[in-house]
Amino acid sequence: MAESLLISGADIVTEEEIIRNGFLGIKDGIISYAGKTRPQETYEKEWKAPAGSYALPGMIDIHIHGGYGADTMDADVAALDTMSARLPEEGTTSFLATTITQQHENIEKALVNAKKWASSSPQVQKGAELIGIHLEGPFVSPKKAGAQPKQWITPADAGLFQKWERLSGGLIKIVTLAPEEDPDFSLIRYLKDQNIIPSMGHTDAGAELLQKAADAGAVHMTHLFNAMSSFHHRKPGGIGTALACGRITAELITDGIHSHPLAVKLAYLAKGSKNLIMITDSMRAKGLKDGEYEFGGQKVTVRGDTALLSDGTLAGSILKMNEGAALMRRFTNCSWLDIANMTSANAARRLGIFDRKGSIAEGKDADVVLTDGQCGVLATICRGNTAYISREADWT
């Protein structure tokens, strides 16, 4: 049962302002109050937040393959159990389980498993909420495969996708594809009509084709700067298209490895905080020690902050959402309101769930992360349930 909880003393980051030293009330899994003065209604429990702490909307990771030893493609309930239970440690309260280009049979197993897990009792799922699936591939370009296994890349196929849509129980919310692999844009148009986000990614297409794809409905870009046609002032490619077109929202991995800090700052200056969505693109090695791991059937070596295939290709990340937020602030000097947009609100808006998630507002799901001034996670609340609390936090 969700807690009846009043959090006092934190700076509350709402949609438009920061309420200094405010009060945040939670009842029945919903945000019941957010304000400067103590509410009149009573709560069963009160947390007095440490000085200098911030209450942010729970982070939404729309592109995450795995972490903590688990991967979406494991296609078993235990893997999603692990992801749901551990992601609150980094402030993530909702996520899209992300697939990778693989044999169709393996993709289908992962889709069916996600459907099975999502349909289990919500009372059992007290961690990060699975709000859908991000289908990354297999409809991508071999020229920009990155860590997507080339042998399983498939031309865009609306009929095949419809089969997968049924198998997932309608959970697929984003599809990363290369527009040049969908030459008549039939899949892009179908996705748009079904309110599924067609995301341009792993593409070698030039700016002209990408703009036509955007006209057809592909107004989202997968992990900006990575696995796309590069920028030249006479051939702006995928990077230039994403940066210059205000209608396109762009994912961004802010680990300083996938994109240089200056590139991250460039994206922030060009797109603003309302058109960027921070992601981790993390794989199973996140939260684990250096060593050898598997990703999409390929051996990955993790050393320090980097995960690489044998040929040196980046293979996802081991980034945590709160770490990405801290680095974003360091690279750009952005505000806490900007961080709330880029880690939560923009994703919720793009997914069409801003009525219930993405910001701290009365009546919305009580998805809240309490952080210190350096984005360290003190506590995470998922739909009113305490999913994580730091041993260092003192709530007396």
For residue 396, tell me if it sits in a domain: no
For residue 370, tell me if it sits in a domain: yes
Q: How would residue 391 be classed by pLDDT, with cut points 50, 70 and 90?
A: confident
Which residue range forms the structural domain that includes residue 48? 5-56+359-389
Backbone angles phi, psi at 392, to 5 degrees: -85, -15
Answer whether 0.95 is exceeded by the pTM.
Answer: yes
Same domain, 71 and 30: no
Q: What is the CATH number of the domain that holds 375?
A: 2.30.40.10
Same domain, 277 and 384: no
Average of pLDDT values for 60-64?
98
Q: Is the Cβ–Cβ distance between 229 and 144 less than 8 Å?
A: yes
Proportion of the chain above pLDDT 90, given as a percent: 96
Q: Answer whether residue 396 shows pLDDT above 60.
A: no
pLDDT at 130: 96
Same domain, 174 and 79: yes
Instruction: Just list the catalytic residues.
Output: 281
> Which residue's entry shows tokens 């030459």?
183
Same domain, 14 and 92: no
User: What residues form the annotated binding site for substrate?
Assistant: 147, 226-227, 234, 258, 314-316
Token readout for 392 is: 């260092």
Same domain, 338 and 369: no
pLDDT tens for each residue of 80-97: 999 999 999 999 999 999
Average of pLDDT values for 315-321?
97
In angstroms, the CA 227 to CA 230 distance is: 9
User: What residues form the annotated binding site?
Assistant: 136, 147, 202, 223, 226-227, 234, 258, 314-316
Same domain, 309 and 383: no
> Which residue's entry shows tokens 């341009």?
200
